[in-house]
Each structure stands twice: as C-alpha cells, then as structure tokens.
Amino acid sequence: MVKILHLDSSARPGGSEQVPHGSHTRRLSSRFVARWRASRPGDTVVYRDVGQAPPTPVTGRWIHAAFTAPAKREPWMTDVLAESDALVDELLDADLIVAGVPMYNFNVPAQFKAYIDNIIRVGRTFGFDRSRPGEPYWPLLTEARKKLVILSSRGDFGYGRGERLEAMNHVEPSIRTAFGYIGITDMDSVAVEYDEYGGERLERSIAHAEEQVDVLVARLLRLAQ
C-alpha cells in the first residue's frame, strides 16, 4: 500500500475547474490524487490544506524548543512543538507527497514556507553534530526513498529550465533544496502558466499540464506495482 500526503497551499479556496478565478494548483493536485485512487482505491491519502490553515510560523520559543534535546525539554516546549511534530509525523508516514504550490512573487506562498520551516527539524528530519568536521549536518530521510510531486502555477510564462525567466523561478528550486536537505530528492513537477494572460493561452497551458499529470500518474503507478 502506498501512503499519500496531499498538500495544498494556494490562498484560493477552490479549484479552477470548479469556481471562477479558482486555484490551478488545487485543480492539478486533486486530479493527480483522483486518478491515483481510481487505480489504487486501497491506498491511504492524508490531506492537509496549508493554504487555508497555515502552520504557525517559527518563533524564538519554537527555535529554543526544537534545539533543546527531547529529554531536557520543559512542558511548554512540547506544547510549542506539537503542531510541528504532527506535520513531521505525517511526512514520515508518507511514501508519496503531492503538493500544490503556486508561485507568489517568484517564490512559494508564505503558507508553504511555514510548512517547510515546521518539517525541517533537527533530530527528526535532519541530523546535526558539531563534532563531525566538514559534515555537521546530514539528512535523515534518505533511506525512506520518498517521492515528491510539485504541481505549480505561474502568472507569466517561460520559467522552465533554459527558458527566459528561469532565473526568477524560486519555487521548484527552493523546494528541491529544502526537501533534498532532509533526504527527499526524487521529485517531479508540472506547472500551469499564463494565468495573468487568461484566454486561449491559459486554456492550452491547463490542458497540457493536465495531460502531464496523467502521464506522471501512469508512470508512478507502474513503479508502485
């Protein structure tokens, strides 16, 4: 059985196939999961909407608690880390992470950045030992071989590899860096473009992205057999 963690981070509450001016990333992520479940109805899906219910941003108290050894934590530290622990537990339990992450001002939404800050945890998703010269940090999830799928959307176009705005795309690269840091390096991505243009170009981009999602699901299903 494959365990899927389905994340949405758009500030828009509905998918663009359902409501006017809805979220393209919600549209793609729901399509991915629906097609997966159509082939493997017995697989588990855990859904978390960080767009509508953002994780609490990291605070000084959170940092103090996270970098205190578990055996030495005071009760308030456990309380401060409770939400982060729940998010980490979901991630650790998942085999496949499917995340809808739109581009906001060339980067991930603040809601998704808060999620990343809560799951990159010393002692839980990465290790740290200052006595290791040259390599004090190391990922803890490498052996789990988790798969990450990023489904994005962009107002402009040309953010792909080798394209005119590649250098301004800090969505997939920043996600790849953050998740790679904890040992999740197997990543695929699909994106809708032309959102701010609308019209036929947007419709073609959506159709192409949906086709790519279907192809990606089919490939990953074969690997899951």
pLDDT in tens, 124-172: 999 998 888 888 999 999 999 999 999 999 999 999 999 999 999 999 9
CATH number at residue 109: 3.40.50.360
Q: Is 153 annotated for ligand binding?
A: no
Distance CA 171, CA 153 (A): 10
Instruction: Provide CB contacts within 8 A for 99, sequence distance 6+.
Output: 7, 8, 9, 29, 112, 148, 149, 150, 151, 175
CB 182 within 8 A of CB 146: no
**Structural domain that includes position 121:** 3-224
Q: Is 10 annotated for ligand binding?
A: yes
Q: Is 104 annotated for ligand binding?
A: yes
Write out the two tokens for 210: 């949906």
Q: What share of the chain is helix, strand, coil (3-state, %, to 5)?
A: 45, 20, 40
Tokens 């800050």 label which residue?
117
pTM to 2 decimals? 0.95
The pLDDT score that the predictor gives to residue 130 is: 85
Mean pLDDT of 114-132: 95
Q: Is 9 annotated for ligand binding?
A: no
Domain count, the chain: 1
pLDDT band at 225 (very low <50, low <70, confident <90, very high): confident
Could you tell me where the DSSP H helices lie in the chain? 24-39, 60-66, 75-80, 82-93, 110-119, 172-181, 199-224
Distance CA 189, CA 148 (A): 8
Residue 122 confidence (pLDDT) above 90: yes
Q: Is 84 annotated for ligand binding?
A: no
